[in-house]
Every structure is written in C-alpha cells, then in structure tokens.
Amino acid sequence: MRSLIDSRMKYVVLPMAALAIATLVLPLVALVIRTPFGSFFDHLGQERTRDALRVTAITSSVTTLCAIAFGVPLAAVLAAKKGPLTTALRAIVTVPMVLPPVAGGIALVSLLGRRGVLGSALDEQFGLTLLGTPAGVVIAQLFVSLPFLVVAVEAGFHSINVRQLDAAATLGASPSQRWRLVGLPMLRPALIAGATLTWARAVGELGATITFAGSLPGQSRTVPTEVLLLIETDPGAAAVLSVVLLVASAGVLVGLRGRWLGRIATP
C-alpha cells in the first residue's frame, strides 16, 4: 500500500476517497435518520406492504432460478468458444446492464405486449397477456438481472483448471462425475456470487417491471413500485420499505464478503 499511495499523493488521494465514501454513504445515513422506526412494524404489517414484499420475494426467487437454469449454460458457451461471434455475443449479453431499465421495459412491451411482435400471437392463440401478472415481473427482472449471472459465472468457468478435469478423466471419471466432483466445486464461488447479485438486482428492479408488467397489487406490484407510490402519499412508509431494501442488499454484500471482492479470479 505504501508504494501505491506515496506521502506526497496522499493529500490528494485521501480527501477524494473520503468524498467518494460520503457520496455513497451519506444518503443512506440520512434515509435511516428519517425513517420512523417507532411505526416500523405498523408499516410492515399493512396488507399492501405485505403484498408487495410477497410479490418481490417470490418473483425475485423465481427469476434467480431461471437465471441459473439459462445463464449457466450460456456462460459455459461463452467461456468455451473463442472468436468474433463469441465476442459479439458477450457484448450483447451485457447490454441490459447499461441500458436504462425503462428502455428495457419498452423493448419487452414491443416484443411481448398484447400487440407486440410475439405477444399478439400469445394473446390470440392462448389468451395469454402478461400485464399485471407475476410472470411479467419475472420476465422484466430476468431481462435486467440475467447478465449479472452470466458475467460472474463465465469468469468462474475461466478460472476452472482444465488440467484437473483432464486428470479426473485419466483416473476414469465419467463426464458427469468430472463435473460433479471436480468442476462444480471450483465453479461454486462464482455461481453463488452471480446468483446473489442477480437476486439483488431483481429485488431492486423498478423501471422495466413497471413499464412491462404494470402495477397490480398482489400480482405485479413489487416493493420498489410500492415505494414509488408511497413517496407521494406516505413518505414514512416509503422510508420504511427503503430501509428493508437497504437491509436486504447489505445482507447480500455481507454474504458475498471476499467472494466478489477479488476471490472469483483466484479461487
């Protein structure tokens, strides 16, 4: 550390670093200061709040499971193949990470809305519409959060020592045994990190969800949507729910301690 920040530099670096910390931390401190903890559980006990918490818990969990089911195979493909096609694919996968979520929601409406490219067929053939449904929420969350899983797990695949897999094969392990006994244990830290980030991103999702799946209490109204509506009618309750989101994301970071901060690449 001494060589990285020498004595002359520290008068510039340390104040700037402190400013960065203040930017990130002070708003959260203010949020906690302004939260009416006296009525914390009254707010949480309200039916509409419980509905929003339930919708968010269920949809974000389903989203995470779907992300693992589709995302791990995609990460394996990206890690295994080389060439311009893979590079292009990798860029496309990360687009939703930088796209404004509202734009993602508009894209989903264009595809799966009732008059959408595919959505009109779904409506005509099966009478299936996604506005106001938990399924719509899952699709919106998946669109914005799947890239987090793919990126993390691809890094995990790259860190797998192929020689160890070869050694297992030499020792007579079948392909499924090789992955179960050797590959997956090596992949596990990246998988956990990716799944947790995916889940956290899904829990906080607002723009794509409200644009695509709307806001039906008990069905598609998630905690962030509820916060958006409460800011205006009941700021205290909005602060309480924001603290719940804050605690959930802080829990994620504590759970990821070490895993995300550098250990993925060096298991």
Partner 1 sequence: MRAFWLSAACVASALGAGACSDDSERKVTVVAASSLQGTLDDIAADWTSESGIEVEISYAGSQTLAAQLRDGFPADVAIIASVRIIGELSSTRALDGEPVDFALNEIVLAFASGVQPVAIEELIGSDLIITLADPAVPLGEYTAAAFLHVGIDPGIVGPASLEPSAAAVVTRLRTGDADVAVIYATDASGFANSPLDGALATYSAAAIGGATDHGIEFLDHLGSPASRSTLVAAGFLVP
Contact 242, 31 (CB under 8 A): yes
Residue 63 beta carbon to partner 1: minimum distance, rounded to whole angstroms: 20
d(C-alpha 130, C-alpha 31), whole Å: 34
DSSP 1: -
**CB-nearer residue toward partner 1: 97 or 229:** 229
d(C-alpha 120, C-alpha 202), whole Å: 26
d(C-alpha 238, C-alpha 45), whole Å: 14
End-to-end Cα spacing for the chain:
23
Residue 210 beta carbon to partner 1: minimum distance, rounded to whole angstroms: 7
**CB-nearer residue toward partner 1: 48 or 158:** 48
d(C-alpha 117, C-alpha 222), whole Å: 26
d(C-alpha 236, C-alpha 213), whole Å: 26
**CB-nearer residue toward partner 1: 169 or 245:** 245
Residue 147 beta carbon to partner 1: minimum distance, rounded to whole angstroms: 26
Residue 204 beta carbon to partner 1: minimum distance, rounded to whole angstroms: 17
Residues that bind partner 1 (CB under 8 A): 109, 113-115, 129, 131-132, 210, 213-217, 220-221, 225, 228-233, 235
Residue 37 beta carbon to partner 1: minimum distance, rounded to whole angstroms: 21
**CB-nearer residue toward partner 1: 159 or 215:** 215
- Measured in whole angstroms, how far is the alpha carbon of residue 81 from the centre of its chain? 25
**CB-nearer residue toward partner 1: 94 or 120:** 120
* CB-neighbour burial class of residue 115 (10 A; exposed 0-12, middle 13-18, buried 19+): exposed
